[in-house]
Amino acid sequence: MKVLITGTAGFIGWHLTNELLAAGFEVVGLDVINDYYDINIKYARLAEHGINHGALLYQELQRSNKLSSYSFVKADLADYDFIVEFMIQQKFDFVVNLAAQAGVRYSIDNPRAYTHSNIDGFLSILEGAKHSQVKHLIYASTSSVYGLNTQMPLLENMPTEHPMALYAATKKANEMMAHSYSHLFDLPTTGLRFFTVYGPWGRPDMALFLFADAIQANKPIKVFNHGNMVRDFTYVGDIVKSIRLLLEKPPVRNAKWNANEPDIATSSAPYRVLNIGNSYPVMLNEYIGALEQAIGKKAIREMMGMQPGDVPATHANTQALEAITGFRPSTTIQEGIKLFVDWYKAYFNK
């Protein structure tokens, strides 16, 4: 089975590549390698898979020198003609679209980066999947689509019409775009609403990374909402295991779907959206405490108010995921943060 993973030089994409290669899939990775954060960590991830970044040429497939079943191409998803033709030529069985412009606060100041990557780029993927008759398209959505919802736990069939930032709005648009292709072209699509993913090889702009840097440098950390925010922190290993288990289980038409009482999470088309979270919300102050314990050093906490675009709480209901896969994400923050800190100290020689 041949899989295209977009965003494979990114955090989740790198881990998913490992997961699928270990499961025996042939993997082709694609990434534009933009400079939203330090590209050196992206090149380091690629190097772990045997891709020499010095030899990377735009739109030229490069075979890994370590992994016979892995290859990589540097390309922009918004390059419509190239992406569609590439997908037709490669004849992928499955596609996992993880490439996107991430970050809630960055979307406030740089909105066009989000329409370019998350809207134009996703359209290229949908068209490529349609023309190449992909068996299952999985794509990253986000818990941020729940927006102003305050009822917990968050369930896939709750309204998502009130996003709080453009990032979330583009992900909601992805879900709607996917549904239209599932309906018109019988393309099986699954949108995954990730809940606050963390772990080794994470993005340097993520809170855990920023906190670790500050603690090691004896600098204060900014603790928003005075540490009273609640998040369903989800370890990256649980995310990629969920994707592997879902890959060969594409959605089918819901025969009981009723247009008069529509189930938002499914459809009369082969379409679904699923939460992937730990189902165990944790206070930000507790999360920081687990990091202090793993590092062996106290943080200097600078208490702040809420940031624009942030939600006060997230808590995933994952019963639908469990029913399909038999798997429930359950890595504790103590376990996951220790794994992150072990990697962080080794990577930065600290």
**Segment 172-206, tens digit of pLDDT:** 999 999 999 999 999 999 999 999 999 999 999 99
- Residue 288 forms part of a structural domain: no
* pLDDT score of 268: 97
Q: How many CB atoms lie within 10 A of CB 283?
A: 15
* pLDDT score of 39: 93
* pLDDT score of 56: 80
The set of residues, in sequence order, having a beta carbon less than 8 Å from that of 310 and lying 6+ positions away, is: 104, 164, 224, 225, 229
Mean pLDDT of the chain: 95
Q: What is the pLDDT of residues 237-293, one digit of tens each?
A: 999 999 999 999 999 999 999 999 999 999 999 999 999 999 999 999 999 999 999
- Residue 212 forms part of a structural domain: no
Question: What element of type H or E holds 141?
Answer: strand 136-142
Structure confidence at residue 150 as a pLDDT band (50, 70, 90): confident
Across residues 62-79, what is the average pLDDT?
95
β-partners of residue 44 are: none
- Residue 283 forms part of a structural domain: no
Nearest of 57, 70, 65 to residue 23 by alpha carbon:
70
Percent of the chain with pLDDT over 90: 87
Q: Is the dihedral of CA 188, 194, 199, 202 positive or negative?
A: positive
- Residue 226 forms part of a structural domain: no
Q: What is the pLDDT of residues 100-143, one digit of tens each?
A: 988 777 888 889 999 999 999 999 999 999 999 999 999 999 99
Token output for 240: 């990629």
The CATH number of the domain where 272 resides is what? 3.40.50.720
Question: Is the bond into 200 cis (omega within 30 degrees of 0)?
Answer: no
* Residue of 167, 198, 271, 344 marked active site: 167
Q: Hey, what long-range contacts does 38-42 have (CB within 8 A, 24 or more apart)?
A: 38/204, 41/201, 41/204, 42/9, 42/10
Q: Is the dihedral of CA 324, 325, 328, 329 positive or negative?
A: negative
Provide the domain count of the chain: 1
- Residue 339 forms part of a structural domain: no
* pLDDT score of 57: 74
Question: Any catalytic annotation for residue 167?
Answer: yes
- The Cα 130–Cα 108 span in angstroms is 32
Q: What is the pLDDT of residues 4-46, one digit of tens each?
A: 999 999 999 999 999 999 999 999 999 999 988 999 999 999 9
Token output for 338: 């220790």
- The Cα 298–Cα 328 span in angstroms is 32
* pLDDT score of 298: 96
Question: Which residue spans within 175-298 are E strands per DSSP?
Answer: 189-194, 197-198, 220-223, 230-231, 234-235, 271-276, 282-283
Q: What is the pLDDT of residues 281-340, one digit of tens each?
A: 999 999 999 999 999 999 999 998 888 777 788 999 999 999 999 999 999 999 999 999
Q: Are 336 and 290 in contact (CB under 8 A)?
A: no
Q: Hey, what long-range contacts does 49-57 have (CB within 8 A, 24 or more apart)?
A: 49/8, 49/14, 49/17
Across residues 86-90, what is the average pLDDT?
97
- Residue 341 forms part of a structural domain: no
Taking each helix axis as running N to C, give the angle between helix 11-22 and helix 236-247, from 0 to 180 degrees, rounded to the nearest 10. Answer: 50
Chain CA centroid to CA 142, Å: 7
- The Cα 304–Cα 222 span in angstroms is 6
Which residue range forms the structural domain that includes residue 253?
2-197+235-278+316-329
- Residue 23 forms part of a structural domain: yes
Structure confidence at residue 349 as a pLDDT band (50, 70, 90): confident
Helix/strand/coil percent split, the chain, to 5: 40, 15, 40
- The Cα 172–Cα 189 span in angstroms is 14
Q: Scanning the structure block, which residue is given the tokens 């923050």?
A: 333
Q: What is the pLDDT of residues 50-66, one digit of tens each?
A: 998 877 877 889 999 99
- Residue 227 forms part of a structural domain: no
